[in-house]
Structure 1
Amino acid sequence: MMVTAAIGWNAAAHAQNDTVTLDVIEVGTALKLDAPMVETPRPVSSVDREELEERNVQHLDETFRYRAGVRSGHYGADNDTDWLKVRGFDHATYQDGLRVYREGYYQWLPEPYGLERVDVLKGPSSILYGEAPPGGLINAISKRPTAESRGRLDLQAGNREHRQLGIDTSGPLTGDGDVRYRLVGTYKYREGDLDHTENERFYLAPSLEVDLTNDTMLTLRGSLQHDDAVPVNAFKLPYGTVEDTPFGKVDPSTNLGEPGYERNDREQYALGYELRHFFNDTWSFEQRTRYSRMQLDLRSVYASAMVNAREASRGLVYRDGTTRSWTTDNRLTGYWSGGGFENTLLLGVDYQDLKTEGDEADLFSFGSPIDIFDPVYGNFTPVSDSQLEERRNTREQLGVYAQNQLVLADRWILLGGARFDQAETTTRNRTTGTSERAEADELSLSGGLMYRSAAGVNPYLSYQESFEPVSGVDSSGDLYEPREGRQWELGVKVAPPGWNGYLTAAAFDLREDNTLISDGSGRQVQAGERTSTGFELETVGYLTDRLQATFAYTYTDARQDESASQQDQRAPLIPRHQASAWLDYVFTDGTLDGLKLGGGVRYVGETEDGATQVADYTVADAMARYDLTPQWHVQVNVANVTDEEYVASCEYWCYYGESRSITASTAYRW
C-alpha cells in the first residue's frame, strides 16, 4: 500500500509532500520530529487516511481496532465520547500536536472525516507533552492544504437510518501556488444501538496555507462541529447481562434512561495557526497555537442498582456549561552532521490553559425505579434549579523541554530528553463555597537506544516517564503528590529492504505510583500502585503484490491496588489477550479489475471485575470496494458481520458490544 506521508520541515531538507512505502512511514508524534517509524526508539503506531476510509472509521475510538496495545469498544456503542485504553491505562488526546481537553463529561470529539492520520504513542509521554495519564496519547492529524488541485464528494447510507454527505476540496489559490486552501465538511445522522437514541452532526473545517517567503510558511486552521443527540447510555447491571435471572437477559437495545428528557447537545469550534521558519541550514523554528471552545448541554439517566427482581434505581448526570482553552507549543530545532554522526537538537516551550464552568448535578437517585425487562418512561421529576451546583475548574501548565537525537556511524541511534513542568489544577464549587487544588513541579526524563541494521532489523531499548496532578489533600492537609508513571520497553522494529511493510515486537513494564486507595477507615491515601506488563506484536505489509495483511497481538497483565486489604488485584476492562487480523486482496486483471475485498476478525479475551466474569468474544468485519472509473468508486462495509451479541466488559456496570453496522458508500474524486 502506498501512503502519503506528512513529511515535516527540518533543517536538513525543506518540506515536500512525498509518496513512500509502508516501511518508511514518517511519524512526528513520538519525537515532535518527523522520522521513519521503524527508526524511532519509542513505541508508536499509525493509521493513515487510506485505512480510515477502507474500514469506514466513524469514531476516533474505532481507529486502532487492528493495532496492538489499544483497547476500544469496552463501553459499547457510546456516542458521548471516544473510549480507549492504551496498555491498560487512560490516555491523553491531541490534535495536530496540541492538547484537546476531555474534562469529565466535557469531551472534545475529533471528526474522523477531517483527519489525514491518527498516531498512538504508547506509554508515558510527559517528556514532550507534559502532564498526562501513563497510557500515552492519541494524536489526530488534520487534513491540510495540498499543492495540487483535487477533491472528492462522498455519499453514505446504512442501517439504523445512517446517512452521510461529505465534501473535501483542496488546491492552490494563486498561479504560483504560494497560497493553498482546503475545505472539509460533512453531515451525518445515525440512530444509536439503544432504543430511542440518535446523533446528528454538522462539521466544517477550512484551512489556508501561505508561503510568506521561501523560508517561512503559515497555516491557518479552523473547525466548527455541532452534535445534536439523545445519548447512548450503555450502563447496564451484571444482573440480566452476565448473570442469569428468572426473566431471562436484558435485551441489548433496551434503554434504561429517559429518552424524552435526555439530550447531548454539543458545539465545539477551534481557531489556530502553525508558523514554520528556517533561519539557515541548521536552525528552524515552529510555533503552533490554538484556541478552542465547547458548549455542552447534557442530561443522561442511567440505571444504578437493582431494588427488586425486576426494577433498578436510577441516577442522573446533568451538565450545562462551557470549556475554553488556549494551547501553544514553540519548538527550535537544530540539525548538524559531521564525520560519522548526525545530531538533531529539539528545544521547546509550551503552555496550556483550560477553564470549565457551568451548572452541574450528579444525582444518585432520579425518578422512579425502572423495569429493566419492560421499561416504562416518564416517571420522573425534571431537575430543578435548586438541585444544580455552579462549578468552575481551571488548569494551567507551563513546560520547558529538550531532546537530543544522535546517530553514530549510520547505525546507532541515541535519544535522550528532559522536561520541567509547572502545573496547577483548581476545582471550585461556587454554590457550596468549597474548592480543591493540585500542584506539580515535575522533572520528566526519557531515553532510547536503537541499532539500525543494514538488514532492516532494528532492536531498541526505551525508558519514558509521566506525571498527572491529583486534586485534594491528605489527612494532614497537604496536597496530594502527582501520580507518576514510568515504562521500560525492549523491542525490535523490522522493515527489510525490498519488503513493503513493517513488523514490530515489544515487551514492556509500565508502572504508576502515588495511586489513591482507601486505608480502610474511609480516608484516601497515596499508597497504591498500578502496573501493566505485557508483550505486543504488530505487522502491516504485503504478502504478495495483491495481498496485504495486518496482524496484531497483545498480552497485557494489568493490576492495581484498590485498598489496604486488596492489593495487586486484576484491573477491570483489560483482557490479558487481544488479537486481530485483516486481509486485503486487490484484483487487477479481467472482469474483476478494480475490485478490492477485505475482511478481518477481532478477538478480545475474558475480563473480570472482582467476582464478575466477562467471557471472551470474537467479531468479524468485511468490506468490498469497486472502482467503476478512475473517478467513481463504490464500497460496502459491515462491522460485526454475524451480529454477535456479547458483553464487552464490566466495571460495576456492564456494557453490551456494538451491534452489526452496514454502510454503503460511493465517492466521486477529481
Structure 2
Amino acid sequence: MTHRRTVARAALATTTILAGGLALPAAAQDGAVDLGQITFEVQGANPVGDAVNPDTLSGMKTATEVTEVPQSVSVVGREAFDRETPSKVDQVLRDVSGVQSQLYGYDSDTNWFYIRGFNSSDTGAFMDGLSLFSYGFGTFYVDPFLLDRVEVLKGPSSMLYGASSPGGVVNYVSKLPDGTTGRSLTFGADSEGRAWLQGEAAGRVGDDLSYRFGAKLQRQDGHGMFDPGREGVIYGGATKAFSDGSKLTLHLSYTDMDEDHVGGQFLPYYGTEKKGPFGYFDEYYNGGDPDSDEYDREQLIATGIYRRDIAGWEMTDTFRLGYADLEELYVYPNGFTSGQDPEAGAGVNRFVFAHDSYATIAQNDLRFTREVAAGGATHDLLVGLDMRRYRLDEAQSFAMGTPLDPDDPDYGADQPQVGAPYIDGVRVQDQIGLYAQDQIRWGGGWIATVNARYDKVWSSFDNDIGEDLDREDDAFTWRLALARQFGSVTPYATVGTYFNPQALDAASSDAEPEEGRQVEVGVKWQPNASSLVTLSAFDLRRENVSQAFVNGGTFDSRTLGEVRSRGVELEADWQATEALRLSAAYTNLDVEITEFEDDRSFEGNTPQSVVEQFGSLQMAYTPLAAPELELRLGARYRGDSHADNANTLDVDGAWLFDAGATWDFAENWTADLNVTNLSDERYTASCQTSFGTSSCWQGEGRVVSLGVTRSF
C-alpha cells in the first residue's frame, strides 16, 4: 500500500533530520563554552539498579520517588530482566500485585495483562509516557530487550494520560542513552527450542554526545508451534547536550517477526479445564493447520525527548512516530462439532481467519514543570499539552474450516480460502488534552496533590462495506490526594476519575464513553534503603462498560453496564539478612457486575476470566562465602476464575513453583539459569465464552532456560 511506504519514509526522514542535529560538530557551537558536568540520563527513566524506592515518571509525569506518588506504583528494573531472561514483558509482570498477566498462556506475539480486574492491554499500554493505544489487531509489540524498566501505575490515570484503562497503566521505559559506557554479548536457549543472541554497546563521543544501541535475533520454537519462527529487534539512541543547556534524545527501534502460532489456544472448555469423552487435550495441542498458519509483523517506533529550561520552567517535549504492519492467517478452534458439550466422536470445530492490519501513531506530549515557594509551602507545578493520532487500516476475512480430531489430529485436510472481508475500512482516533498538576508540601511532611485535565476525542470509521462512524467526545478528569510522611512511613488517600471512549466501531456510535472513579487509601513503608512495603485498598467503579471477547477473527461486544472492583494489594521487597532477600505480592479482589443490561441475572457475578486472588513469594539467597552466586526460589498462586459471566463454568486455580540461579563464574562472565513451573503443573490460564462457545488457553508448562553474558 502506498500510504504504508509514505508513513515509513516520513518516520525515517524525521528521525534522520533530527539525528543530523545531534551530529552537529562542536565547532558549530561556541568553543569557549564550558558545558560542565553533563547528566545525560532522563531522571525517572534511568536504570533502577538496587533501588527499592526509585524515582518514577508514572503517576506524576515528574521524577518522583515511589513513596511520594499518591497511588500504588510498582517498578520492575532491567536487573530482573537480566536474571530471569523472559521472552515477553508480561512474564515479568507475574510478580506485581494487582496485575493478572499471561491470561492467554504463552502467546508469543502479544503482551496480555489485566490490572485490578480490567483488561489494560489495549488502552493501558504506554511507552516512555506515550500511549501505545491499540484496537483489534492493530497492536504494537514491545520486546523486553528494548527496556530498562517497566512501571505499573494502578488505578485511573486519565488525569495525566487522557483516555485510558480504568485498571491502570503499564509504562514501558526504553533503554535510553544515559552517558554510561560498556558492551555486552548474550547467548541463551531454553527447553522449548527458543534461542537468542543479543549484543549491546553504549558510550560517548566527546563530552556532549552519548549513544546506546543493540540488536537481538531470536529463534522462536516449541509451545506447539508447527515450524520455528524468528524475531529480530534492533534499537539505537543518542543524546546530544547543547551549549544552551538543552538536551535532545532520539531513540529508534525496529521489530520484525515471522512465525507460526503456538498451541494451547482457543481450546474448548471440555478437554482443557474439564475432562471430555476423549480425556484431555495434549499439552500445547495446536488446533490450527501447518499449511494455513502465518503471522508477520513489521514495526518501527521513533521517539524523541527534548529538554531545556525556559524562564525558570523546565520544559520536556516527548514525541513519537511509529507504525505496525501485521498480516495473519490462522485456523483456530471454536468448540466441538456437536456444540458446547462434546459427544463421543465429535471433532474440534475450526474457523479460518485472516487479517491485514496497518496501524500508525503520531504523538506529542509537551509539559513544563517548576518549583515555587509560597505561603510556607512548596509547589511542584506541572502543565502540559498532550496530542495523539491513531490510525488503523484493516481488512478481516473469515471461512469455516474442517474439523480436527481432539485426540489424534490429522492436519492433512485442505482448508477453504477466506471469503470477502467482513471488516474493511480505516479507523482514526484523535485526542488532545490539556492538563495541570500541583504537588504541595508543607508542615514538615504533608503532601497534597491536585490534578485536572480536559480532553477532546474524535473517533471515525470510514467503512467500505457498512455504516460509518463519526463521533466526538470530551471529558474533564481529576485527582485529589493527601499524604503524610512520618519518618519512613507514608500513609495516603486519593480519589480520582477516568474516562475512555468506546471502541472504534459503528455499533458504538451511540455509546457514551466509559467513565468512573476510584477511592484508594494506602501506606508505603521504607524501613531502610534496601526494603519497601506497600499496602493499598481501593474501590473502583466502571460505568458504561462494553466487554469485547477475544475470539479469533470476531470480537463479540456485549454491554455489561457497570462493574465494581474492590480490593487489597500488598507488595514487599525486603532485605531480611545480608544474604537473604524476600519479595512478596498478594492481591485480593472483589470484582462484581453491578449492572448488566442484556441479562439481569448476571448482576452480582464476577466477569469472566478475572482471577480475584493471586500472589507470589520469592527468595533470593547470596552466600556470604560466595558473593558471586545468587540462588532463587519462588512460588506463584493463581486463584479460581470463571469461563462465563453467568459463573456456571469454573476454572480452577493453581500453585506454580520457580527456581533460578545467577553465577558470575569468571571476570565479566555471568550465567543465568531459570526453571519456571518446576513441577510441570497442568493448569488453565483462563477461559471465556463468546457466541455460546467457551474458549480456553492452556497455561505454560515447565521451561528451563540458560543465558550466558560476556561484558567488556
TM-score by length of 1: 0.92
1:201-600 residue pairs with structure 2 within 5 A?
Answer: 201-232=231-262, 234-280=265-311, 282-308=312-338, 309=343, 310-337=346-373, 340-361=376-397, 363=398, 365-384=399-418, 386-387=420-421, 389-430=423-464, 432-454=465-487, 456-471=488-503, 479-496=510-527, 498-516=528-546, 528-560=561-593, 561-562=595-596, 563-566=598-601, 567-589=603-625, 592-600=626-634
Q: Secondary structure in 1 aligned to 2:468?
A: strand
Structure 2: distance between partners of 1:337 and 1:68: 37
* Cα-to-partner distance string for 1:397-452 (whole Å, 9 max, x where unaligned): 0111011100112301100111111112222321x142234431110111111101
- Match of 2:285, as an amino acid? T
Q: 1:252 to 1:539 in 2, by over 3 A?
A: same
1:661 lines up with 2:703 in the alignment: yes
Q: Give the alignment's Cα RMSD to 1 decimal.
A: 2.4
Residues 199, 317 of structure 1: alpha-carbon distance in 2 compared, 3 angstrom cutoff:
same
Name the CA distance, whole Å, in 2 between partners of 1:255 and 1:322.
Answer: 27
Could you give the per-residue CA deviations for residues 537-570 of structure 1, whole angstroms, max 9, x where no partner exists?
Answer: 0001211112111101100111224424221221
Identity within the alignment, %: 28
The residue correspondences of 1:581-660 to structure 2 (distance < 5 A) are 581-589=617-625, 592-609=626-643, 610-652=647-689, 653-660=695-702
User: Is 1:95 matched with 2:127?
Assistant: yes
AA partner of residue 565 (structure 1): R
- For residues 615 and 411 of structure 2, the distance between their equivalents in structure 1, rounded to whole angstroms, comes to 41
Task: Decide which moves more: 483-492 or 421-430.
Answer: 421-430
Secondary structure of 1:357 counterpart: strand
User: Which amino acid is the alignment partner of residue 465 of structure 1?
Assistant: T
Counterpart Cα distance in 2 of 1:494 and 1:243? 44
Once structures 1 and 2 are overlaid, which stretch shifts more, 434-443 or 94-103?
Answer: 434-443
> Retained in 1: the 8 A contact 2:460–2:504?
no
Which of 68, 85, 95 is matched with 1:39 structurally?
Answer: 68
Does 2:183 match 1:151? yes
Indicate the larger mover: 205-214 or 557-566. Answer: 557-566
Quick check: 2:494–2:521 contact (8 Å CA) kept in 1?
yes
Contact 2:361 2:388 in 1 (8 A): yes
Q: Is the contact between residue 474 and residue 480 of structure 1 (CA under 8 Å) also seen in structure 2? A: no
Contact 1:303–1:315 under 8 Å retained in 2: yes
What is the match of residue 163 of structure 2? Answer: 131
Partners of 1:31 and 1:650 in 2: how far apart?
36
Report how far residue 499 of structure 1 moved: 4.6
Asked if structure 1 preserves the Cα contact closer than 8 Å seen for 2:568 and 2:587, the reply is: yes
Q: Would the aligned equivalents of 1:341 and 1:410 in 2 still touch at CA under 8 Å?
A: no
User: Whole-Å Cα distance in 2 between the matches of residues 196 and 401 of structure 1?
Assistant: 50
Find the aligned partners of 1:301 and 1:428 in 2 and give their Cα distance.
Answer: 28
**CA offsets per residue over residues 173-217 of structure 1, 9 Å max, x none?**
11x2x0010002111112141241543110000001000125200
Q: How far 1:536 sits from its partner (Å)?
A: 0.4
Structure 1 residues 197 and 30: alpha-carbon distance in aligned structure 2, compared to 1, 3 A threshold: farther
Structure 1 CA distance for aligned equivalents of residues 375 and 70 of structure 2: 23
The amino acid across from 1:442 in the alignment is: A
Q: In structure 2, how many angstroms separate the alpha carbons of the residues matched to 1:559 and 1:260?
A: 43
Closer, same or farther: CA 627–183 of 1 in aligned 2, 3 Å: same
In the alignment, which of 55, 60, 72 is matched to residue 89 of structure 2? 60
Distance in 2, matches of 1:367 and 1:395, equals 34
- For the structure 1 residues 232 and 415, does the alpha-carbon distance in structure 2 shift closer, same or farther, using more than 3 Å as the test? same
Aligned to 1:102, the other structure's residue is in SS state coil
Separation (CA, whole Å) in 1 of partners of 2:244 and 2:388: 31
Counterpart CA distance in 1 for 2:93 and 2:242 is: 37
Q: Distance in 2 between matches of 1:183 and 1:517?
A: 40
Separation (CA, whole Å) in 2 of partners of 1:488 and 1:472:
29
Native 8 Å contact 1:438 1:471 kept in 2? no
Give the counterpart of 2:56 among 18, 27, 31: 27
Residues 524 and 273 of structure 1, relative CA distance in 2, 3 Å threshold:
closer
- Structure 1 residues 354, 387: closer, same or farther in 2, change over 3 A? closer
Tell me the amino acid that sits aligned with residue 629 of structure 2: L
**Which structure shows the higher strand fraction?**
1
What is the letter of the counterpart of residue 469 of structure 2?
E
Q: Between 78-87 and 465-474, report the one with greater CA deviation.
A: 465-474
1:271 Cα deviation (Å)? 1.6
Q: Which runs of 5+ in 1 are unaligned?
A: 10-14
Q: Using the alignment, how far apart are the partners of 2:614 and 2:45 within structure 1?
A: 38
* 3-state SS, counterpart of residue 704 of structure 2: strand
Structure 2 match to 1:167? 199
| CA shift digits 1:8-36 (9 cap, x unpaired) | 55xxxxx9979875343111111001111
How far 1:136 sits from its partner (Å)?
1.0
Aligned to 2:110, which of 81, 99, 103? 81
* Matching residue of 2:174: 142
Aligned-partner residue type, residue 571 of structure 2:
E
| Mean CA deviation greater in 321-330 or 308-317 | 308-317
> How high is the TM-score relative to the length of structure 2?
0.87
Q: Is the 8 A contact 2:40 2:179 kept in 1?
A: no
Measured after TM superposition, the shift of residue 219 of structure 1 is 0.4
> 1:626 touches 1:634 (CA, 8 Å); kept in 2?
yes
Does the Cα contact within 8 Å between 1:127 and 1:446 map onto a contact in 2? yes
Structure 2 residue identity aligned to 1:66 = D
**CA displacement at 1:246 relative to structure 2:** 2.4
Shift of 1:390: 2.4
When residues 612 and 267 of structure 1 are mapped into structure 2, their CA distance, relative to the original with a 3 A threshold, is: same
Which of 131-140 and 432-441 deviates more?
432-441
Q: CA deviation at 1:303?
A: 1.1
State the alpha-carbon separation in 2 of the partners of residues 6 and 581 from structure 1. 36
Deviation at 1:469, TM superposition (A): 1.0
1:198, 1:231 within 8 Å by CA — same for their partners in 2? no
Structure 2 unaligned blocks of 5 or more: 1-38, 549-555, 690-694
Moved more, 65-74 or 145-154: 145-154
1:475-533 per-residue CA deviation (whole Å, 9 max, x = no partner) reads 9x97221011211101100012x351100001111111112499xxxx99977101111
Query: Quick one: structure 1 residues 165 and 392, their matched pair in 2 at CA, closer, same or farther if it must change by over 3 Å?
Result: same
SS at structure 2 position matched to 1:514: strand
Residue 18 to residue 481, structure 1, CA distance change in 2 (3 Å): closer
- Provide the residue aligned with 1:12 in structure 2: none
Assess, with a 3 A threshold, how the Cα gap between structure 1 residues 598 and 20 changes in structure 2: closer, same or farther.
closer
Output one character per residue of 1:360-388: Cα deviation in whole Å (capped at 9) or x when no partner.
Answer: 22x3x522222122222243444356346
| Amino acid of the structure 1 residue aligned with 2:491 | P
Instruction: Go from structure 1 to structure 2 and tell me whether the alpha carbon gap of 1:460 and 1:197 turns closer, same or farther (over 3 Å shift).
Output: farther
Q: Distance in 1 between matches of 2:257 and 2:68?
A: 40
Answer with 317-326 or 80-89: which moved more: 317-326
The letter for the 2-side match of 1:58 is S
Task: Give the CA deviation at 1:296.
Answer: 0.5
